[in-house]
């Protein structure tokens, strides 16, 4: 891709776990200018520190529910829409707010993208599959989201499909649960939460039903590489792709952490979100395009623990 074809993109929610890593690892051969839009609700000011050279960055503090996208999308080629409430278990307490931010916010962004001829990359979640008896892929018809977070992601997918028929160019990535270090780190997802507890000498809290159950996970480096892969190939074909590094059980995760913290203790607890059965996700569709995930669970855990080494 020549320099003349390099894109100006806008990333919503860009200071979070994924966005802060993406800002530092965006493909230089596809992007020249990056508009960062974030409401700073998470107070992750540090995500703006030491941004890489070679790009033109602009930061806009605004909210997707009120932002004037007619103004912000001028000259934009692609929107990467990361802004969302992402603590799946926490969303049980605030379903109306999740609806407002995760669905209504997406509607505002998608409508504006369609109106201005801007392409949209939307990160959905493998959590839309919910309880499944067998390995599932994108052709699964019986989707069973078991949290407000997953339900609104699925509603957003359906809305984008309708808008796609009216001309919106988009792609949906059903990401596995993210693990791996970023400067905008969050610790409410399984692997990262376990690492935080382990680093602080706190017994890991494991849901009783989940020890042998499999879940799809995505190493943060693979997540960002998948976004670059899509951008480089201009892959806005209205398709849904599962994007994962691998499927792991909770036992796999705990044993990987024990490689580095052998004295790790485990407590078994109940949790409403983890009553679902095991589910395993297939990602052959995205791999068939040439994408190869390289993330390894033990290495992802080690890089995060290394950042916390001072308190271990």
| pLDDT tens, position by position, 155-214 | 999 999 999 999 999 999 999 999 999 999 888 888 999 999 999 999 988 877 778 888
Do 239 and 172 form a contact (C-beta atoms < 8 A)? yes
Average pLDDT over residues 38-47: 88
Measured between alpha carbons, how far is residue 255 from residues 32, 74, 127, 270, 286 in Å?
42, 49, 23, 21, 29
Can you give the pLDDT at residue 105?
97
Task: Please give the residue that has the higher pLDDT: either 277 or 297.
Answer: 297
44 confidence band (pLDDT: 50, 70, 90): confident
Q: Where are the beta strands (DSSP E) in the chain?
A: 7-12, 31-38, 56-61, 78-81, 119-125, 170-175, 177-179, 204-207, 214-219, 240-243, 246-249, 266-269
Task: Determine which of 89-93, 151-155, 171-175 has the lowest per-residue pLDDT on average.
Answer: 89-93
Judge whether residue 22 has pLDDT over 60: yes
Quickly count: other Cβ atoms within 10 Å of residue 128's Cβ: 23
In the predicted model, what is the mean pLDDT of the chain?
91
Do 238 and 133 form a contact (C-beta atoms < 8 A)? no
3-state SS assignment for residue 200: coil
Judge whether residue 113 has pLDDT over 70: yes
Measured between alpha carbons, how far is residue 108 from residues 167, 250, 296, 309 in Å?
16, 37, 37, 42
Can you give the pLDDT at residue 94?
79
Average pLDDT over residues 2-22: 87
Expressed in percent and rounded to 5, the helix, strand and coil fractions of the chain are 40, 20, 40
**What is the pTM (predicted TM-score) of this model?**
0.92
Can you give the pLDDT at residue 289?
98
> Please, what's the b/e burial string for 181-192 (b: 16 or more CB within 10 A of its CB; e: otherwise)?
bbbbbbeebbbb
Can you give the pLDDT at residue 2?
41
Q: Give, as one character, the DSSP assignment of residue 6.
A: P
Judge whether residue 277 has pLDDT over 70: no
- The Cα 143–Cα 136 span in angstroms is 10
- Taking alpha carbons only, the member of 307, 286, 288, 135 closest to residue 223 is 286
Can you give the pLDDT at residue 187?
87
Average pLDDT over residues 202-227: 90
Can you give the pLDDT at residue 3?
42
Can you give the pLDDT at residue 1?
42
At residue 139, φ and ψ (nearest 5 deg) are -85, -5
Q: Report which secondary-structure segment, H or E, holds 17.
A: helix 17-25
- Taking alpha carbons only, the member of 150, 130, 139 closest to residue 239 is 139
- The Cα 97–Cα 82 span in angstroms is 16
Q: What percent of the chain has pLDDT over 70?
A: 95
Do 254 and 194 form a contact (C-beta atoms < 8 A)? yes
Can you give the pLDDT at residue 271?
61
């Amino acid at each position: 891709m020549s320099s003349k074809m390099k894109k100006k993109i806008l990333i919503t929610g860009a200071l979070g776990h994924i966005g802060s890593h993406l800002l530092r690892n965006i493909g230089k051969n596809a992007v020249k200018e990056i508009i960062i839009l974030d409401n700073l609700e998470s107070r992750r000011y540090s995500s703006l520190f030491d941004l890489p050279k070679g790009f033109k960055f602009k930061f806009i503090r605004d909210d997707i529910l009120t932002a004037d996208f007619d103004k912000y999308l001028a000259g934009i080629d692609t929107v990467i829409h990361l802004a969302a409430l992402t603590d799946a278990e926490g969303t049980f307490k605030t379903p109306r707010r999740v609806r407002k931010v995760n669905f209504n916010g997406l509607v505002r962004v998608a409508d504006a993208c369609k109106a201005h001829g801007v392409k949209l990359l939307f990160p959905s979640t493998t959590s839309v599959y919910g309880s499944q008896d067998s390995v599932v892929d994108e052709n699964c018809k019986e989707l069973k989201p078991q949290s407000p977070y997953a339900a609104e992601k699925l509603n957003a997918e359906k809305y984008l499909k309708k808008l796609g028929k009216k001309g919106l160019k988009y792609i949906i990535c059903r990401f596995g649960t993210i693990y791996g270090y970023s400067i905008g780190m969050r610790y409410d997802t399984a692997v990262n939460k376990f690492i935080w507890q382990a680093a602080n000498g706190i017994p890991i809290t494991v849901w009783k039903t989940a020890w042998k159950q499999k879940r799809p996970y995505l190493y943060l480096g693979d997540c960002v590489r998948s976004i670059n892969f899509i951008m480089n190939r201009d892959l806005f074909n209205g398709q849904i792709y599962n994007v994962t590094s691998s499927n792991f059980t909770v036992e796999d995760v705990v044993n990987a952490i024990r490689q580095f913290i052998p004295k790790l203790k485990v407590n078994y607890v109940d949790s409403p979100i983890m009553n679902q059965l095991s589910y395993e996700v297939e990602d052959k569709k995205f791999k068939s395009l040439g994408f190869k995930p390289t993330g390894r669970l033990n290495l992802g855990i080690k890089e995060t623990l290394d950042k916390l080494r001072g308190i271990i």
